Amino acid sequence: MKALLINGSPHKNGSTTTALRLVADALEEEGVGAEIYQISPAPVRGCAGCFRCKNSGTNRCFFDDDEVNGLIEKIEGSDALILGTPVYFAGPNGQLTSVLDRVFFAGRASFAGKPGAAVCVLRRGGATATLDTLQKYFNISGMPIAPSTYWPMAHGMSGDEIKKDTEGVQTMEMLGKTIAWLVKCINAGKAVDVVYPEMPGGEKIATNFIR
């Protein structure tokens, strides 16, 4: 059992890493391995809306010159996914959303049933809008969202300040425990042939509002 935690901050050892490390430590205490993945600082294109990933049937982005396809593979090989970001202008880091738009558009068909969670760190405001943006990736992909004791946010401008937010610390620790619980429950279900439900009708229906 393994969870992948994506650090969407440009700062490798900043406050977002501190929050994710709290979640990772709780996961490992519960017997679930945890890998913190740092997104590349190199510029990355957003989704081009070209649909070539869908038309190819590969679950991979057509543009294969950056980290996106490797990250899809990592998520496919994990039992749970945690997204971490600082709050910028009441939203996630733009580099992270550019990566996630392509990761989820191309690869989400293979993510269904994996527990997901979003974590954000901030100085003051914008947390709930940020979490709402990130959690929508899970909602559209059939990924159950792990709960905690509060919205998964922690306040502080540095790792040391994050650790002083005692409620935030507890929230991260509990999040790690509930993710581990979900992973174990899902794996126990699979062992007795309880599997993720099939799409009604066999294929996803997409309707337009112009008739």
Q: Answer yes or no: is 136 within a domain.
A: yes
Phi-psi region of 80 (alpha: psi -120 to 50; beta: other; left: phi over 0): beta
Residue 110 lies in a domain: yes
Whole-angstrom Cα distance, residue 42 to residue 23? Answer: 26
Give the mean model confidence (pLDDT) for residues 102-124: 96
Q: Would you say how long the chain is, in residues?
A: 211
Domain that holds residue 176: 2-191
- Tally the domains of the chain: 1
Percent of the chain scoring above 90 in pLDDT: 90
Residue 140 has pLDDT above 90, yes or no: yes
Q: Could you give the CA distance from residue 209 to residue 198 in angstroms, rounded to a whole number?
A: 26
CATH number for the domain harbouring residue 30: 3.40.50.360
Q: How far, in Å, CA of 10 to CA of 113, rounded?
A: 29
* Alpha carbon distances (Å) from 156 to 64, 86, 135: 36, 10, 22
Lowest mean pLDDT among 29-43, 149-163, 167-181, 194-208: 194-208
In this structure, what DSSP letter does residue 179 have? H
Q: What is the pLDDT of residue 209?
A: 82
Question: Of all residues in the chain, what percent carry a pLDDT higher than 70?
Answer: 100
In-domain check, residue 199: no
CA distances to 1, 43, 132 from 40, rounded to whole Å, are 25, 8, 24
* Cβ–Cβ under 8 Å, residues 98 and 107: no
Look at residue 163 and tell me if it is in a domain.
Answer: yes
**Average pLDDT for residues 177-204, to the nearest whole number?**
94
Instruction: For strands 2-7 and 80-86, give the pairing.
Output: parallel
Assigned domain for 120 exists = yes
pLDDT in tens, 29-86: 999 999 999 999 888 999 999 999 988 888 999 999 999 999 999 999 999 999 999 9
* Confidence label for 208 from pLDDT (cuts 50, 70 and 90): confident
Using 50, 70 and 90 to split pLDDT, how confident is the model at 211?
A: low
